[in-house]
């Protein structure tokens, strides 16, 4: 499990990099992508097992990215981050095959917990 990679996709660079660093501190290998396109590219090069995907991004939307990733990387477990009040997008994502969704702002501990669950589910 330790060799697994987590890809964190969020257009807010400071947020994504900081969160990635905190996840790294907690023993995960965490990469970042700052847009949907970047995320798809990164997955093509070096596929991650767990993707934490923000649904609200400029350019390619989170749900569009989800759709692409579900096709190209059916094994990858995708956790969605939804903005406040957009529960319906989360539900939609779940129906499209996402593993879970979390409401932003997210507590680091609950994110860790969900990632762990995703990893265990893999096996």
CB of 73 to another protein, least distance (A): 26
With CB under 8 A as the rule, give the number of residues binding another protein. Answer: 18
Q: Measured in Å, how far apart are the chain's first and last C-alpha atoms?
A: 10
Nearer to another protein, 25 or 44 (CB): 25
Which of 27, 41, 44, 87 touches another protein (CB under 8 A)? 87
CB of 16 to another protein, least distance (A): 9
CB of 46 to another protein, least distance (A): 24
Give the H/E segment covering residue 53. strand 50-54
Radius of gyration of the chain measured on its C-alpha atoms: 13
CA-to-CA separations, 117 to 16, 31, 71, 82, 99, in angstroms, rounded: 21, 19, 22, 19, 9
Binding site for another protein (CB under 8 A): 12, 14-15, 18-19, 21-22, 25-26, 83-88, 104-105, 108
């Amino acid at each position: 499990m330790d060799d697994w990679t987590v890809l964190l996709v969020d257009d807010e660079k400071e947020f994504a990099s900081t969160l990635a660093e905190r996840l790294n501190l907690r023993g995960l290998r965490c990469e970042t992508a700052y847009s949907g396109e970047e995320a798809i590219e990164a997955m093509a090069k070096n596929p991650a097992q767990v993707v934490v995907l923000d649904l609200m991004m400029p350019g390619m939307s989170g749900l569009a990215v989800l759709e692409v990733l579900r096709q190209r990387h059916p094994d990858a477990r995708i956790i969605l981050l939804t903005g406040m009040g957009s529960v319906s997008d989360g539900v939609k994502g779940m129906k499209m095959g996402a593993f879970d969704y979390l409401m932003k702002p997210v507590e680091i501990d609950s994110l860790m917990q969900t990632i762990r669950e995703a990893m265990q589910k893999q096996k």
